[in-house]
């Protein structure tokens, strides 16, 4: 496989200007560039710019994939929209990094596959950004589940000691959104580790429309006017900013959650993995039993039908042997095995043994056929059978 790198950026809060698009075109002559998007695939060489610099200057979301099993998801936030200090509680080398660049905070999640057997297919970069982009608004609104999952990546990679204590565990890990579930797959995060973390996560509380409306009503007229002006100017950050502020106001009413040691999380993940494996083994065993029972039932029905044909199957065996063709020998041998089973079900095994011995004697000059009989367990005479 040749080298493969996929870059995709998206502008959310505002579209790119014509001058900005021209500046990006100077960086890449082959990229797809629109007022809200920049994407390109590189099989030789790489992007002629630092992607984080481009993110900080032009865009709000960035996705990168490379066929050496490396992936990256990054978001840009205006400083007032995102709590960088809080996010840094979840930062680990293999997972989350947070930094300030200009007037923006950048949140970068980087992942390397823990399994060298993970396959990489060309063109697998497309579609990830549209799936994951909504997580930026969730983060801005104060939903820290992505941050916690990124911290778990560091736990999985061994960046933390067993005695380390987890950062604040956000509510809702038991009920991940579609985008968060996709993120778990995007960064190759162990589902059992996620499930272990979810055991200590509170349930999400639904935002009351009435309470939210009352909180909006409590804002000053000046602030409401400023917010409306921003909406009119297509500032895409307003909704997330308001949701985040409301979440911070109501967060103080939630009961505290016990913070666990990393050793507890790892032990719980191992326990859940064992339970899941036992459940999978049981499902497989149950399915195997059902399959065998169905095969046995079908086999019984077939043998009953064969028994009703009386001597006709023996005549068919003789016809097949007489063709002197390897395929016919196979069919004849298979039919003889069926006739043996019919006889044994009826308690007439000795009768079958005598018939088989006579048949073998009639065709003793056919070594290929005799060899197939021996391979099928039919290489015996009536005396041996008894």
∠ Cα 287 289 295 (to 5°): 100
- Of the three residues 246, 268, 290, the one that is the final residue of a domain is 268
Same domain as 176, residue 49: yes
Same domain as 104, residue 48: yes
Residue 125 covered by a domain: yes
pLDDT for 125 = 74
Q: CA–CA separation, 147 vs 139, rounded Å?
A: 8
Residue 280 covered by a domain: no
Domain that residue 315 falls in: 309-385
∠ Cα 261 270 266 (to 5°): 20
Residue 220 covered by a domain: no
pLDDT-flagged residues of the chain (< 70): 1-2, 116-124, 205-212, 214-215, 233-255, 380-386
Residue 274 covered by a domain: no
Same domain as 199, residue 127: yes
Same domain as 197, residue 140: yes
pLDDT for 158 = 92
Q: Name residues whose C-beta falls within 8 Å of residue 71's C-beta, 6 or more positions apart in sequence.
A: 63, 64, 65, 110, 111, 186, 187
Same domain as 318, residue 183: no
pLDDT for 380 = 58
Same domain as 364, residue 259: no
Residue 367 covered by a domain: yes
Same domain as 78, residue 14: yes
pLDDT tens digits, 140-151? 888 999 999 999
Same domain as 66, residue 13: yes
Residue 76 covered by a domain: yes
pTM above 0.75, yes or no: no
One DSSP character per residue, 150-215 reads HHHHHHHHT-S-TTPBP----TTTTS--HHHHHHHHHTT--HHHHHHHHTTPPPPPPPPHHHHHHH
pLDDT for 384 = 45
Residue 115 covered by a domain: yes
What is the count of structural domains for the chain? 2
Residue 15 covered by a domain: yes
């Amino acid at each position: 496989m040749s080298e493969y790198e996929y870059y995709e950026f998206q502008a959310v809060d505002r579209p790119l200007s014509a001058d900005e698009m021209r500046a990006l075109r100077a960086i890449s002559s082959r990229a797809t560039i629109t007022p809200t998007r920049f994407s390109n695939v590189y099989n030789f060489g790489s992007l002629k710019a630092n992607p984080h610099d481009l993110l900080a200057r032009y865009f709000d979301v960035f996705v990168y994939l490379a066929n050496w099993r490396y992936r990256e998801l990054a978001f840009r936030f205006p400083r007032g929209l995102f709590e960088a200090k809080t996010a840094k509680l979840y930062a680990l080398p293999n997972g989350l990094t947070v930094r300030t660049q200009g007037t923006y905070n950048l949140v970068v999640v980087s992942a390397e596959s823990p399994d060298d057997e993970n396959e990489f297919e060309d063109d697998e970069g497309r579609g990830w950004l549209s799936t994951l982009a909504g997580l930026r608004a969730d983060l801005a609104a104060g939903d820290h589940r992505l941050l916690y999952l990124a911290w778990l990546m560091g736990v999985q990679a061994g960046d933390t000691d067993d005695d380390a204590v987890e950062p604040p565990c956000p509510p809702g890990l038991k009920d991940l959104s579609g985008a968060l579930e996709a993120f778990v797959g995007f960064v190759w995060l162990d589902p059992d580790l996620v499930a272990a973390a979810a055991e200590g996560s509170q349930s999400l509380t639904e935002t009351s429309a009435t309470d939210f409306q009352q909180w909006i009503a409590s804002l000053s007229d000046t602030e409401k006017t400023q917010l409306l002006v921003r909406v009119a100017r297509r500032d895409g950050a307003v909704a997330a900013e308001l949701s985040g502020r409301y979440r911070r106001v109501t967060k103080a009413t939630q009961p505290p959650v016990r913070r666990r040691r990393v050793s507890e999380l790892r032990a719980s993940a191992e326990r859940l993995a064992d339970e899941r494996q036992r459940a999978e083994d049981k499902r497989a065993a149950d399915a195997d039993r059902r399959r065998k029972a169905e095969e046995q039932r079908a086999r019984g029905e077939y043998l009953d039908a064969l028994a009703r044909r009386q001597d006709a199957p023996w005549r068919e065996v003789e016809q097949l042997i007489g063709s002197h063709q390897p395929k016919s020998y196979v069919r004849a041998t298979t039919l003889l095995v069926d006739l043996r089973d019919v006889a044994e079900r009826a308690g007439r095994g000795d009768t079958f043994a005598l018939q088989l011995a006579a048949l073998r004697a009639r065709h003793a000059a056919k070594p290929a056929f005799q060899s197939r009989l021996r391979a099928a367990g039919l290489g015996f005479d009536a005396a041996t059978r008894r």
